[in-house]
Amino acid sequence: MLQNQNHLNSALLSASETFVHETSLFNSSVNPYAYFSGMDIDLQDYTIRYQRQPRKNGVAITGTFNISGILYTAGAADMSGLLADVLGRYHAKVAYQQ
């Protein structure tokens, strides 16, 4: 049974490596939950969509992020840019509310 679990883990890891390699847009070291929780921001859910081809304005990734019950949408050329854009929108909203 343990041997089957090891094969399953190996298959899942190789599948995720292929996915990352094919898109080359997702930085696997950036986890949105860890990124926002490191700043004490409550990310409840997120959805990321990869475009087949970048748009004319350079957007290749779009995302919807649920932070403390408020939805933020953004687009960027890569994952780190997307997270930075959402973080900027969050801070702008917090500053506006104060």
Identify the residue with better confidence: 81 or 24: 81
Specify the residue for token string 């990869």: 50
Residue 73 phi/psi, 5° resolution?
Answer: -115, 145
Nearest to 86 by CA among 77, 96, 73, 97: 73
Percent of the chain predicted with pLDDT > 70: 70
Domain count, the chain: 1
- Alpha-carbon dihedral of residues 61, 42, 30, 76, nearest 10 degrees? 20
Residue 96 phi/psi, 5° resolution?
Answer: -65, -35
Residue 3 in any domain: the answer is: no
Residue 16 in any domain: the answer is: no
Q: Render pLDDT for 9-32 as a digit per residue (tens, 0 to 9).
A: 444 444 444 344 444 555 556 789
Answer whether 49's CB lies under 8 Å from 72's CB: no
> Domain of 63?
26-97
Q: What is the CATH number of the domain that holds 92?
A: 3.30.160
Nearest to 93 by CA among 41, 49, 37: 41
Separation of alpha carbons 66 and 81, rounded Å: 17
Q: Is the pTM of this model over 0.85?
A: no
Residue 45 in any domain: the answer is: yes
Residue 4 in any domain: the answer is: no
Residue 1 in any domain: the answer is: no
Which DSSP symbol is given to 57?
T
